Amino acid sequence: MNWKTILSISAVCVCIFGNTRAQEEMQAVTDPVKVFEAGYLQVVGHSEDGQTRYRALRAAQVVAQRDLLEVIQGLSLYGATSVKDGMLQSDEIKTSVEGFLRGALKCGETYDEARGSADVCMRLNIRGRGGLYDIILPLMKDETLQPEKRPAYKPPVPGFVPQVMGSQPSGEKGAEAAGTVAQVEPGVSGSAEIASKPEVKAPSELTNPYDGLIVDTRDYPFRPALVNRVLTDKEEVIFEPSKIQSNVLVERGCGGFTTDDGKARALLESWGSKHPMIVKCMDVRKLTDAKISQDDAAAVFVNDQKSNILAQARVVFILK
């Protein structure tokens, strides 16, 4: 095999690899679960056939921008309220979203000379500086735009630590500190069993506090939104945007979303959580508020006093 043949084969391989990679990168990400899990939404606009390269690419970009607007408008702000509803209710939100769309990034383009058509991929980030959380969620601190107000949760007994469905703390001291805890087999839904009557410990006595929260909503029709909350069964608020530090709110929103136990733990670990608790959702309110029991709420409250779970938004919802 001479050097010309080798170069030809190499060029073909590079071309095939490059096209495959481009096709993988130019995939639409519009399903709400995937959008919130990936942290961005992405569309691919396609032009009509029979156009010059310039016209086809321009037409495809216009289609992509239109599709981006449709996807954004369809995302939930909270409950049954969509971004589109928010834009109709608030000129601030409408102006912010329109400005946000102008920041869409082109993530790829192709032109088919034979057909005279083009595809253009465009992406908008949900999280991070300039992302949708950065644009919209600060507006949600305005009481006129927030979901209906609910009372903040307060534990019935100061320092109470209930049974928690989560991984067992290491060592006897950890078990005493967190109360009686059931074992959970990673990756198996519903494997936790509620343990016996818990002990009462003050936050100052916790030696191995939980530093993250996994809310398992797989038994209910829960969906990710720009504003997801955790409530008690009495609809008291445990977790909402107002409890999150501003810089964390921009980077993480109201926590993370995944459909897998292992990915939930891995995501929390990337945020600095080594020892998360797992609680089972016992009901859902307006599709975006997850309700948990009073006992689990007390556990979240007490451990949060030690490890700042809520302000750091170290919360992950496991979805169906």
Report pLDDT digits (tens) over 18-60: 444 445 578 999 998 899 888 999 999 999 999 999 999 999 9
C-alpha count within 13 angstroms, C-beta hemisphere, residue 301: 25
Structure tokens, 198: 């818990």
pLDDT at 282 over 50: yes
Question: Residue 177: pLDDT band by 50, 70, 90 thresholds?
Answer: very low
Report the distance separating Cα 220 and Cα 320, nearest Å.
8
Structure tokens that stand for 20 in this block: 């495959």
The whole-number average pLDDT for the span 247-260 is 91
At a CB cut-off of 8 Å and minimum separation 6, what does 231 contact?
A: 150, 153, 237, 238, 285, 289, 290, 291, 292
Domain ranges within the chain, ordered by starting residue: 24-140, 164-318
In 3-state terms the chain splits into helix, strand, coil percentages (rounded to 5) of 40, 20, 40
H/E element, 297? helix 294-307
